[in-house]
Structures are given as structure tokens and as C-alpha cells.
Amino acid sequence: MTFSRFAPSPTGYLHIGHAWSALFSAAHGTMILRIEDIDTTRCKPEFETGIFDDLDWLGLTWPKPVRRQSDHFADYRAALARLDDMGLLYPCFCTRRDIQDEIARADSAPHGPEGHLYPGTCRNLSADDRARKMDAGAPYALRLNMDAALATLTAPLTWHDRYRGQQTATPDILGDVVLARKDTPASYHLCVTLDDHIQNVDIVTRGEDLFYASHLHRLLQYLLNLNIPEWAHHPLLLDPDGKRFAKRNNAVTLRHMRETQGKDRTDIITLVRDSLPTDGPWRWHLP
Ligand code: GLU
């Protein structure tokens, strides 16, 4: 049996873009459903129930029980501790504002696919400075020291995307990423990578917006000695204006389409088909 996965966050009702992502996942294997609710301030139980209702309505099934990330903080803490023991994490005390100011000051701040990278301000703090800030109770995030992590490699890391082919991992394009925050004990990157391993996911199916994240996840797999799955990134559905669908736009939620507009599963599939680019290998996987 091949396991794929769909991993929504219960921060709103699912929309048509999620329907595509879930249908795409189910077309690649037995779809594991995972609730990504580490940001407990934004997640709500009614949205979790909404996820189950909407997927059920789409005719999808998934193995039970469903893994809910907020039940597994101990797993993520253990993985963080392992990276820390390897000397690959450092505390970062910078606020968003500090980072912007530092970038504005620097002549050429490093740039990644999603904008400026963390300029490294806290990477070289002296042990004394770190201790002083910690003693003063300054809040901090934990960042991965990317150079130190890459220095542990003995050969380039590769990974395989079913539609884009063999990739050489270039996680440095994301810089010193945050792996834990003061208000969330573990970041998306850490949790998702660990969970895909724990849940024996064979093929990580998800949107193209996370293609760059997969480079980092491949590095985390290496550092934590985790299984290496295959990946399949799908294009994002765009509205008629060429914009991504957003959870905050109630009109495109599956719930609204079902309850207010009286649409059915076939209507959703037609809408997905009509909103996708006309060409691409993933079209084979349309229901
Ligand atoms: N939880 C993420 C989201 O809702 C998806 C993560 C993933 O598929 O890796 O956008």
C-alpha cells in the first residue's frame, strides 16, 4: 500500500484549493489525513470538524485515528533536542522589527525565494551575551545554523519529485530557518518532516508553494535520520483574477458551496478542472 497525505490546518473552513489538494493526494495513494494545529492560537475545533465534514462530502476516506499535531509536542521537542545536541541550533532574540532594521542597514542582505533571509544577527552572539539575554527573560526563537548543518553533509542530498524529476537539495536558499518559536514549541518545517516519517508517508503530496520547503525537509530528514519519501507538488488553483483562494473568503469555502449554493461533489470537481492550467502531468490525476 502506498500512503500519501493531506495535512490541513484548522484555521478556517476548507476552500476549493483544499479540495484539489485532497483529491490530488487521494489519487496518489491511501490518503492519510493529518491535522496541523501547532499554532493553537489560530486553530479552532469547529474548523477541525469542518475538515472531516467537507472531506467526507467529497467522498474521501482516510485511516483512523487521525494524527493531531498538538497531541505530539513531546515528539517535536525530542527532535529539537537532537538537533541542539548536534550543535545546530541557536537562540534568536530578534523581533520582526529588528530583522527589518538589520536588512535595511546591510548593503546586500541575502535573498531567498520568499524574500529576504534572516541576516544572521544572533548567530554569532557571544556565550555571555546569550546568557545575559536568557537571564533577563528575553523571548527567543530557535534557528537552524544552516552553514553548520550543511557542513555535516558528506555528499549532496537529492530528492525526487514525481513531476519535476530528480532534485539536488539546496536548503541554504531558505537561510537560518526558525525551528521553534516562543509561542509555538516547534515550527511547521520540523513537525511536518517528523510526522511524514512517523506516519510512513511514501509520497508527500502538496502545493507548489511549498516546493522550496521540501529542500529544507530533505536536510532535516538527513540530520534526524528519517525516511526519505517521494514528493509530488501540484499547481495552486487560482481564481478568475489569477489570485490564490483564501480561507477568509467565505464564498469559496466548500461548506458555503454545499450549504448555501447547493453544489455537489461533481460541481466541485468541475470547478477544480476549470481553475487548473490546461496542461500538466497532474491532470492525469483529476477525478
Ligand atoms: N498545513 C499546511 C497548510 O495547511 C500544509 C502543509 C503540507 O502539506 O506540507 O498549508
Return the ligand 1 atom nearest residue 18 CA: 4
Å from CA of 188 to ligand 1 middle: 8
Specify the CATH number of the domain 87-157+167-180: 3.90.800.10
Residue 284 pLDDT: 65
Q: How far apart are CA 191 and CA 169, in angstroms?
A: 19
| DSSP 3-state of 124 | coil
Residue 120 pLDDT: 92
pLDDT tens string 195-238 = 999 999 999 999 999 999 999 999 999 999 999 999 999 999 88
Does ligand 1 come within 6 angstroms of the Cβ of 192?
yes
From-to residues of CATH 3.40.50.620 in the chain: 3-74+192-285
Residue 112 pLDDT: 84
All residues at 6 or more sequence positions from 36 whose CB lies less than 8 Å from its CB, including other chains: 7, 8, 9, 69, 188, 191, 192
Residue 239 pLDDT: 80
Task: Write the CA distances from 226 to 3, 46, 142, 200, integer angstroms.
Answer: 16, 33, 21, 10
Grid cell at residue 35: 491535522
Q: What are phi and psi of 203, to 5 degrees?
A: -135, 120
Residue holding cell 487560482?
Answer: 238
Low-confidence ranges of the chain (pLDDT < 50): none
Q: Is the CA virtual torsion 197, 55, 207, 161 positive or negative?
A: positive
Å from CA of 9 to ligand 1 middle: 7
Q: Identify the residue whose C-alpha is closest to ligand 1 atom 6.
A: 7
Nearest to 4 by CA among 40, 41, 30, 43: 30
Return the ligand 1 atom nearest residue 5 CA: 8
Task: Write the CA distances from 235 to 128, 162, 163, 164, 278, integer angstroms.
Answer: 48, 13, 11, 12, 11
From-to residues of CATH 3.90.800.10 in the chain: 87-157+167-180
Residue 187 pLDDT: 93
Residue 193 pLDDT: 98
pLDDT tens string 103-113 = 888 877 788 88
Specify the CATH number of the domain 3-74+192-285: 3.40.50.620
Does ligand 1 come within 6 angstroms of the Cβ of 179?
no
Does ligand 1 come within 6 angstroms of the Cβ of 99?
no
Does ligand 1 come within 6 angstroms of the Cβ of 206?
yes
* Terminal C-alpha separation, the chain: 20
DSSP type of residue 171: G
Does ligand 1 come within 6 angstroms of the Cβ of 36?
yes
